[in-house]
Structure 1
Amino acid sequence: MIPPNPVVSAVVVLGFVALLYAVEALDVVAGGALDANGVLPRNFAQWDNIIWYPYLHADWAHLTNNAVPLLVLGFLATSGGIAQFLQVTAVIWLTSGLGIWVFGQPGPHIGASGLVFGFLTFLLVRGLFARSPRQVVVAAAVFAAYGAVLWGVLPGRPGISWEAHLFGALGGVLAAWGVARDARAARKGAGTSLGA
């Protein structure tokens, strides 16, 4: 589905991705020092790294691998409006970060791939929760383009945070459920009439 204000949606998503590139440029200047600030599983002294770990990437290739799907999936995820998009992003971000912190392998976990997997699963299941044929059609198109990526939620290559992928995907499902629940509640509320 097309966002209600596609220009604003494009600016928001492009702005976020541009910020990722700016942070990576700063990291290059700092000799890669920022990468140590990823999520450190079960480290209480640095739990707040959950706040900024998606901004950090190992190198330009890592960033570009995340940026392209972020642009596409992020734009599609704004179809419910910017306010909803920010809420969905927060749910995915925190679910992925907390999942890494509790269950992740030792060492810093960095990168926006948790958001990529979250937006992907949000778009895939939103139509099912909302019982919307149009959203199911969008989900089918998204699955055709990115469905193979879902194998990344399983342990695989060393150095790849499958935990970020798995919990990002779970965050996307949680966000889709919440959006559909709120939409149903709003429809019921709009249909209620109160007596004087």
Structure 2
Amino acid sequence: MAYGRAPAAGRTGDGPGPGPGLAEDRVFGRVALDLDAAAGLLTVHGERVPTAVLRRAPDAVPAGSVPIGTRDAAALRLTVDGHPGHITPGKGRPARRSHRVDVIYGGVLYRLLPDSPGGSRLVKDGRRIADFSSDGGGHVWADWHPDVAPPLREDAAVGYALAAAFGTGAEPSWRLLVRAVAGLVR
């Protein structure tokens, strides 16, 4: 069985307020993505997906370049179905790999890692299980890989939470360098 992607309905309103999104996942059905960037709170839930909550510490200074507002692991708390997960975002520097986000949940290592300007792959214990893409405004899409075992509910909760909270994709370093040099030449 191939697990495809289905489009999501996105965030309502403009600017940093509450922004409900709705992914229509062919494996997990409707997945609600409720991001309140100003409060630093993301809730992911659905009929077939356990509730994941990612919360930014109230005293953390929000960074506008990240939907959840920070890449500081000390300022973030993740729970899935009420159980804590350990989250470690990369620094988000020009190197694409620095945009990765790691989560250890239930003894499993998940990694969301950019692999194109607009997309990221979700890796579970070293094996790619899905590709995620988002627009940074509440729209998230998932392509579950057909050559691996059917994804678990927890896989979806973690994957959607990371994609909605940190966005997906990153420009390659060489492209950023070319743009910087071009800006200097002008």
- What TM-score comes out, normalization by structure 2 length? 0.31
Query: RCO (CA 8 Å, sep 6+): is it higher in 1 or 2?
Result: 1
- What TM-score comes out, normalization by structure 1 length? 0.30
The structure having more radius of gyration, on CA atoms, is 1
Task: Return the structure number with greater helix share.
Answer: 1
